[in-house]
Chain A
Amino acid sequence: AAGVIQSPRHLIKEKRETATLKCYPIPRHDTVYWYQQGPGQDPQFLISFYEKMQSDKGSIPDRFSAQQFSDYHSELNMSSLELGDSALYFCASSIYGLAGVDTQYFGPGTRLTVL
């Protein structure tokens, strides 16, 4: 079965540079979530999109922005990178249900290292 695709898998940037992470959800999934997992930490919710509209926001820095495109893929843009942004960034996707909560399926993650 198709899974969530994230690219790139690894990214190395210098401080103050910009990075763009991409996420391609499972086919027919219409909701995308972004999480950040620091070393030895649990994943922290950043932001989510449903049908190309931002639907929820967590502890996402103002330096970060994200969007979901017409083909449902999503991009997380990170500017003025700091050392503390080094982390594993996960994208997850789900299909919107009429009620309740949908199971989120995670991509393999993008490991960002800021030097």
Chain B
Amino acid sequence: AQKVTQAQTEISVVEKEDVTLDCVYETRDTTYYLFWYKQPPSGELVFLIRRNSFDEQNEISGRYSWNFQKSTSSFNFTITASQVVDSAVYFCALSEAKRSGNTGKLIFGQGTTLQVKP
């Protein structure tokens, strides 16, 4: 069965600190997809990144970076020089490859609430 675990329920940092959000997943499929979404206090879910299981290349986008390691089934998210606007709930999600009867629904982790203090 698919499962996503975000062990950190809440993290509090001071502005400009670096912070890493952990995500561990379980799946039996050899092809799968990992996502990170941000949910700010306003409530919407904002797509941040998607990573395919066959692409272990890490990615950097501005202050955001993602480390995907299949050997440890982890897809961690690091924010460098955090800012108050980064305060939100961050969800890691897993989707298996599409096949008959499955359009790739997302399985979410429990979410990590990040609070960045000024």
Q: Give A residues with C-beta under 8 Å from B.
A: 31, 33, 35, 41-45, 48, 50, 55-56, 58, 88, 90, 92, 94, 96, 99-109, 111
Contact = CB atoms under 8 A, between A and B. Distances in A.
Given A50-B103, A104-B106, A109 B47 contact: no
Interface residues of B, number: 28
Contact of B101 (A56, A90, A101): A56
Contacts of B87: none
B111 A103 contact: no
A42 B103 contact: no
Given A106-B45, A111-B43, A42 B105 contact: no
Q: Which interface residue of B31, B45, B52, B95 has the most chain A CB atoms within 10 A?
A: B45
A2 to B, nearest CB: 15
A101 B33 contact: yes
22 contacts: A33-B103, A33-B106, A35-B106, A42-B108, A43-B106, A43-B108, A44-B108, A45-B107, A56-B102, A56-B105, A99-B97, A100-B31, A101-B95, A101-B96, A101-B104, A103-B47, A106-B37, A108-B42, A108-B43, A109-B43, A109-B45, A111-B43
Nearest to A45: B105
Interface string B42-62: 111111001010000000000
Contact of B52 (A96, A100, A109): A100
A31 B46 CA distance: 18
Contact of B45 (A44, A48, A90, A101): A90
A99 B98 contact: yes
Nearest to A50: B103
B110 interface: yes
Nearest to A90: B45
B64 interface: no
Contacts of B109: 42
B91 interface: yes
A100 B33 contact: yes
Contacts of A44: 108
